[in-house]
Amino acid sequence: MPTPPNESDAPESETTGLPGLRTWRSVYVLVVAVFVVWVGLLVALARIFS
Amino acid sequence: MNALDYVVLLGTLLGIAVYGVWRTRGPRDLKTYLKGDGNTRWIVIGLSVMATQASAITFLSTPGQGYEGGLGFLQNYFGAPFALIIIAAVFLPIYRRLNVYTAYEFLGRRFDSKTRLLGAALFLVQRGLGAGITIYAPAIVLSTVMGWRLDATIIFSGSIVIVYTVAGGCQAVNVTQKYQLAVIFAGMITAFVVLVERLPAGLTLTDALTLAGGFKKLEGVDFSLDIHRRYTFWSGLLGGMFLALSYFGTDQSQVQRYLSGASLRECRLGLMFNAVCKIPMQFFILMLGVMVFVFYQFQQPPIYFNRAALEHGGSGRLRSLEAEFAKDHAQERQQLLAWLNAKHAGNRNAEAAARAAALAAHERGEGVRAQAKAALLAGNSRTTTNEADYVFITFILDDLPHGIIGLLVAAFFAAAMSSKAAELNALGSTTTIDFYRHLVARAATDAHYVAASRCFTILWGLVAIGFALFANLAENLIQAVNILGSIFYGVVLGLFLVAFFLRRIGGAAVFWAALAAQLLVFVLYFSLSISYLWYNLIGCAACMLFSAAIQAAIGPAAGHEEAAPPP
């Protein structure tokens, strides 16, 4: 017995409201970039203090 | 712990619980009770998702992981950002569009009633047992160290959670998690600051990192392709993504957190907050453990961190090992200081020699500790060999000032309660929506369903407390429940992946495929000796492949839509 579909999301599904990141695709790319930076920093930390 | 610690502990825990009840007082309809008031912002969703995943054992045990194995454990979380992106892009818009209360409602809409019930039942079995472990695991550690009664610890923390979760539903969980997480991080950051201050005079943070690096505690990324290594970049990225996809995307305790968002944007941002913050958060907790390791190179640690086991298993042999360990530790400390002095003086040869001598002394000390552990285990069959869980709590009780001890213990309880509240909320919701409303009372009033949901939440809370009390009888129960979770998780994820990505497969095919996949996992579990983590992948892959094969055998699926709701 499901509830009725939610229509309120449709118009806003493509807007992020974030400055400089207009599409969700750009947000996802940023998240991946942050991950890559973290991996790079971890590798650097191990090398500097090895 | 003294009176000040107890005031901080009880004041924090009861204060948050009372605030949660007060903030969510008044009558609530079903939607508000199960999904909040519809105005939840992204930061609350993000913190709530984070608090649900981070249970007390995360904060008790993870520093111990850092102490023993360094930063390598961090790789377990490398798949999480990618899984959260997939959930935000694919899972979430569908959940929102269908306006479901539970993830399993979606299975009913996509396939049929029996598939929905199968998914919900698998969740209830695994999460029902998991809720017991969520309070049992920290209670066993804290009661052992503090000398509290285990049953009283379990009943105390479990009862508080039941009260505010039943009273305020989803919104109470979200509201309290925000403050519980604040307490957790206040405690962890304070512990870190005090820890760095307690390092020997003249030892800078750079020196501490140099020592940690020398003991290979800072190796957070291992690109090895060796499948026998427990933590590598690749196993973390692929295996971790699978686990995170299953947990964040199909486990109602998480789905309910982000379905409470005011809009799709708020939900997505809440998930992206976790995608960005999860790795730094775990890094910080592991680094805390690494710093505890450095601290204990200058201050002699107990030969075995579980002091209760040490007291019960004390013997002449153990005392002679303790004397031997003290001698090795003193030599190591001397060599560490020589290492740092040589480094500061720029004398590379002396630095290398002192470093080698320090590492050798450390190895000797670890050898003595291993002998002590074996002696304890031989003398007492109930002595746990996993002492990593006791490292951080030992440091807290021995080396932090009063007041901060209370704050840290409050942080562990807050973490246990935040996870358990989300689990109980999800168990109550799933029982009400997917079973009670779907099978028993299809056209009752909102008030009736809210009352039913409250009753089911209490019931699951009592089941969890009962299970945690019973868990005292079994030594390796935590591992047993982890195995149980892995046995079911793969098939549940398979159901959802078929629903999202294999559009031509219908309810009959996926239902029988899921049952066959589950049977296969059971058979493999009892006939193979592989790591239980692999069953996540096997169950999921088998469910998807069997679905495609059965659908091909029985011909094209007919369209399906569950009955429309009453007005």
The complex's ipTM works out to 0.86
For residue B99, give the nearest of A5, A15, A39 by CB distance.
A5
What pLDDT, on a 0 to 100 scale, did the predictor assign at position B564? 42
Cβ–Cβ below 8 Å for A16 and B269: yes
- The answer to the question of residue B90 being in a domain is no
CB distance B424 to B460 below 8 Å: yes
Is B96 near chain A, with CB under 8 Å? yes
pLDDT at B563: 46
* Nearest chain A residue (CA) to B561: A2
- Residues B300-326, buried b or exposed e (16+ Cβ, 10 A)? bbbbbbbbebbeebeeeebeebbebbe
Does the CB of B268 have a partner CB in chain A at under 8 Å? yes
Number of domains in chain B: 2
Identify any residues that bridge with B40 across adjacent strands, giving them in sequence order: B261
Q: Using CA atoms of B281, B286, B290, B296 in order, give the dihedral in degrees to the nearest 10.
A: 110
Which of A33, A19, A7, A12 has the alpha carbon at shortest distance from B268?
A12
Cα(A48)–Cα(A46) distance, integer angstroms: 6
DSSP state of B90: I
- Please return the burial class of A19, using the count of CB atoms within 10 Å of its CB with bins 0-12, 13-18 and 19+: exposed
Q: Give the structural domain span for B515.
A: 476-567
From the list B17, B29, B307, B1, the residue with the least C-alpha distance to B183 is B17
| Window B:409-438, CB contacts with A under 8 Å | 437-438
What pLDDT shows up at residue B475?
Answer: 43
Three-class SS state of A41: helix
Contact A2/B at CB under 8 A: yes
Interchain proximity A12–B563, CB inside 8 Å: no
Residue A18 pairs in a beta bridge with: A21
Asked if residue B447 belongs to a domain, the reply is no
- B126-169 pLDDT, tens per residue? 888 878 887 787 787 778 777 888 888 889 888 888 988 888 88
Chain A contact present for B109, CB below 8 A: yes
Q: What confidence score (pLDDT) does residue B473 get?
A: 47
Q: Are B111 and B504 in contact (CB under 8 A)?
A: no
Structure-block tokens of residue B560: 């399906």
In chain A, which residues have pLDDT < 50? 1-2, 11
* Final residue of a structural domain among B340, B355, B379: B379
Using a CB-CB cut-off of 8 Å, the residues of chain A touching B283 are 38, 42
CA distance A36 to chain B (A): 10
Task: Answer whether A9's CB lies under 8 Å from B88's CB.
Answer: no
B265/A46 touch (CB, cutoff 8 Å), yes or no: no
Q: Min CA distance, A12 vs chain B (Å)? A: 7
User: How far B489 CA lies from chain A's nearest CA (Å)?
Assistant: 24
If you measure CA to CA, which chain B residue comes closest to A3?
Answer: B565
Is the CB of B81 inside 8 Å of chain A's CB atoms? yes
Test B98 with A5 for CB contact under 8 angstroms: yes
Domain boundary (B379, B412, B430) is at: B379
Measured in whole angstroms, how far is the alpha carbon of residue B39 from the centre of its chain? 27
Beta bridge partners of A21: A18
C-alpha triplet B495, B497, B501: angle, nearest 5° = 130
Task: Compute the C-alpha angle B351/B357/B363, nearest 5°.
Answer: 135
Distance (Å) from the C-alpha of residue A2 to the closest C-alpha of chain B?
6
Q: 3-state class of A21 per DSSP?
A: strand
Nearest to B99 among A6, A28, A50 (CB): A6
Asked whether B95 and B259 are in contact (CB, 8 A), the reply is: yes
B96–A9 C-beta distance less than 8 A: yes
Distance CA B404, CA B5 (A): 7
Written as one letter, the residue type at B358 is: A
| Cβ pair A3:B213 closer than 8 A | no
Tell me whether residues B279 and A38 touch, CB distance under 8 A: yes
Q: Position of tokens 């730094």?
A: B280
Q: Which residues of A touch B30 (CB under 8 A)?
A: none
Q: Give the A window 3-32 contacts with B, CB below 8 Å.
A: 3-6, 8-9, 12-13, 15-18, 24, 27-28, 31-32
State how far residue A22 is from chain B, nearest Cα, in angstroms: 12
B431, part of any domain: no
CB interface of B with A, residues 317-336, below 8 Å: none
Nearest chain A Cα distance for residue B140, angstroms: 34
Please name the amino acid found at residue B430: T
Q: Give me the residues of chain B with pLDDT under 50, please.
A: 473-478, 563-567
| Helix, coil or strand: residue B261 | strand
Q: What is the pTM of this model?
A: 0.86
Q: Last residue of a domain, which of B364, B379, B394?
A: B379
pLDDT for B20 equals 84
